[in-house]
Structure 1
Amino acid sequence: MRLRSAVLALACAAGAVVAAPTAQATTTHNRADAASGWLARQFVNGDHLETDFGGTSYPDAGLTIDAVFAFASSGTADNYGAAALTWLAQPTVLSGYIGDGTEAYAGATAKTALAVQVRGGNPTSFGGVNLITRLNSLLTPSGRFSDQSIYGDYSNAFTQSLAVIALDRTPAGAPVSAVNFTAGTQCPDGGFPIVFGAPTCTSDTDATAVVVQALLATGRTTAAQQGLTWLKSKQQANGGLAYGDGSGTPNTNTTGLAGQAFRAGGRPLAALKARQYVLSLQANCTAPVSDRGAIAYDSTGINPNTVTRATAQAILGLRGAPFATLTSAGSTNGAPTLAC
């Protein structure tokens, strides 16, 4: 998944913190659990993740939600996921991320609503905001979900797909116009673009992986399977996938998301190959203790600037359910470490 603009990403200010979850010194041989445990130990004050920008660290609500999804996917670190939602519900944090109403960011609103649903909460009443009403208010007549912002409209395939998935998980379901718009963005080769309205439709691996999940959730199986076929054609010999048109160096962010989509769409061999690639880049018992369990972005190794986001998104390709059915129910507490 890709970052929003720097202006919007840094709009989230730090709020009051809650007590950090108690770390439980359990060990595990399960690689997904170890990755989740490493990710939990990166939390600041036990409730959120931060991103470095220009030498200064800022709270990153979007990355924190990625961790919530990762914890639910692995079924571990449940207390960290709970703390993250408590942190996100603070008015200053929430409004900085999704907008204050006058400013309203569709992608952030959809991602927050989905995180609340994954954790079994009520997205119609979160931090004093009805996220579902807010999200529906950003649906345009064309069926596209768009930002309402003086900074411009940064909505894209992730915005659209997460909105469709989040609304599909409500009793009313996803609006037909939104599903039609999503399916209608398909490129002639079967993949889906990250940006809408470009002169040439250019399929994107990350976009296709998340759009496919939205279409599968809403019954558009034919378009979804065409997307998966295109995505599978971009899987390299080592099981990895590269971002963009898929022709570059593979990375665990894209591969993790693709693995989740392969599993959702009934492509077990492709999902297994994606999983093996992700695991090949996980720091094991030969790595420094502080890195064990982390998943590098690519074959260049652990990079402090990319490893947290890479680990969060790579976990999705290890054994997690698709976004449409992802849940933290039954998860265990603690931040397990890799048994060595």
Structure 2
Amino acid sequence: MRRTIVLILTMMLSIIVSQPVAAQSDMVAAGLKWILGQQQADGSFAGFGPGDTADAIVALVAGGEQPPASALNYLAGQAASYGTSSAGATAKVILAVVAAGRDPLNFGGVNLARQLGTTYDPATGQYGADVYGHALALLAIKAMGVQPPAPAIERLIGLQLRDGGWSFDGAAATGSDTNTTSLAVMALSGYARAGDALTAARNYLRGQQNPDGGFPYSQTSAFGNASDANSTAAVIQAILALGEDPNANPWRQGEATPLKALIAFQNQSGAFRYQNAMPDDNALATYQAIPAVAGRTLPVRTVTIPAAQTLIASAINLPTTGGETVPILALVALTGMALLVVGLWLRREPVRQG
């Protein structure tokens, strides 16, 4: 009798749990269908440029859909222009290329890993000109399954502001925002030395949550603090990267949760609106929302490309097997000392007559 009761309770729990999961799957499917309908004649996806096509490809893969070959062909045609325009652009293309199962070392005739390496400044440890691009670069490196230069991780940690967040450009005057902070959290997750920074970032994000469960760009934004789909999706991905459940405490606000708030932005068409005050279908909001609803953080796919390790920065700054950096000058000095010792030993060794 007891076994029967346990079995019934287990079945009931299974049904309760499976219902929201099934609902999320339906919402992802509807979103993917809408995204596919946004593809243009040249293979690109609706938006403001090639970066949006990269985002759409990532969203499709996150939702379980193979991107159209024409979309990848379009992006390959942009690799030598958009793909080399900034660290963030290069990183976006890498994330899309790896997600789609293509080779980032030869995409559209461009070695994207080498290109990313050209944006690295060993003097600062930063990729590109801003925090957002730097965090994207670290995510692209994760996608390729190699280790970033140790100073690059320390740089991102060092750019964290006192409130626990990050600003787009790294300046305190700009102020922290949820989007840059979420990207930084995804970039730093998995690195033990980033533990304190991630804890502070988590506290910052919790302080940005609205009563409806969603998130704004920033509570202090000049454009208001209403929740929006893009920011809510970004924070959900950060929560997932922290190993937490966006439907559970401490992210639950009564019955409201970040995931419920995001799902509420989906229109009948399958697309997501940016905010309730802007009810039209929004391509960028949809590209960002789908991975979050699907429970995927960045990068959505990771492969191991050993050859990328020496390309993402100069050999001087890359970690050794032990995780520390060995300056090339130190290696030269050690080699010179060894040769000197050998020379002295040979001078002292008696000459043998044949």
TM class, shorter-length = 0.7 to 0.9
Query: 1:172 deviation in Å?
Result: 3.7
Q: How does 1:63-212 map to 2 (within 5 A)?
A: 63-76=52-65, 78-80=66-68, 82-90=69-77, 93-99=78-84, 104-140=85-121, 141-146=123-128, 155-196=129-170, 198=171, 200=173, 202-212=175-185
SS at match of 2:232: helix
* Counterpart contact for 1:259–1:316, Cα < 8 Å: no
1:311 alignment partner in structure 2: 286
Rate the CA distance shift 1:221–1:83 in 2: closer, same or farther, 3 A: farther
Give the length in aligned residue pairs. Answer: 268
Query: 1:175 deviation in Å?
Result: 1.2
Instruction: Give TM-score scaled by structure 2 length.
Output: 0.70
What code does the residue aligned with 1:297 have? Answer: Y
Query: 1:46 deviation in Å?
Result: 7.2
Query: 1:166 deviation in Å?
Result: 1.2
What code does the residue aligned with 1:173 have? Answer: Q
What code does the residue aligned with 1:176 have? Answer: A
What code does the residue aligned with 1:117 have? Answer: V
Q: Which runs of 4+ in 1 moved over 6 A?
A: none
Decide which structure has the larger Cα Rg and report it. Answer: 2
Query: Quick one: percent identity of the two aligned structures?
Result: 28
Q: Measure, in 2, the Cα distance between the counterparts of 1:179 and 1:281.
A: 34
1:296 alignment partner in structure 2: 273
Query: 1:327 deviation in Å?
Result: 6.3
Rate the CA distance shift 1:226–1:326 in 2: closer, same or farther, 3 A: farther
Gaps of 5+ in 1: 1-27, 53-59, 147-154, 285-291, 329-340
- 1:326 matched to 2:301? The reply is yes
* Counterpart contact for 1:281–1:298, Cα < 8 Å: yes
Q: Measure, in 2, the Cα distance between the counterparts of 1:254 and 1:199.
A: 20
Query: 1:45 deviation in Å?
Result: 2.2
Q: Measure, in 2, the Cα distance between the counterparts of 1:327 and 1:84.
A: 20
2:43 alignment partner in structure 1: 47
Rate the CA distance shift 1:278–1:114 in 2: closer, same or farther, 3 A: same
* Counterpart contact for 2:29–2:63, Cα < 8 Å: yes
Gaps of 5+ in 2: 1-23, 304-354
Which has the higher relative contact order, 1 or 2, with Cα contacts under 8 A spaced 6 or more apart? 1
Rate the CA distance shift 1:232–1:316 in 2: closer, same or farther, 3 A: farther
Q: Measure, in 2, the Cα distance between the counterparts of 1:116 and 1:211.
A: 21
Q: Measure, in 2, the Cα distance between the counterparts of 1:169 and 1:39.
A: 23
Rate the CA distance shift 1:246–1:314 in 2: closer, same or farther, 3 A: farther
Query: 1:221 deviation in Å?
Result: 2.8
Higher helix proportion (structure 1 or 2): 2
**C-alpha deviations, 1:196-232, integer Å up to 9, x for none?**
2x25472111110000000004442331232122112
What code does the residue aligned with 1:251 have? Answer: D
* Pairwise CA RMSD: 2.3
Q: Measure, in 2, the Cα distance between the counterparts of 1:66 and 1:253.
A: 12
Q: Measure, in 2, the Cα distance between the counterparts of 1:135 and 1:257.
A: 23
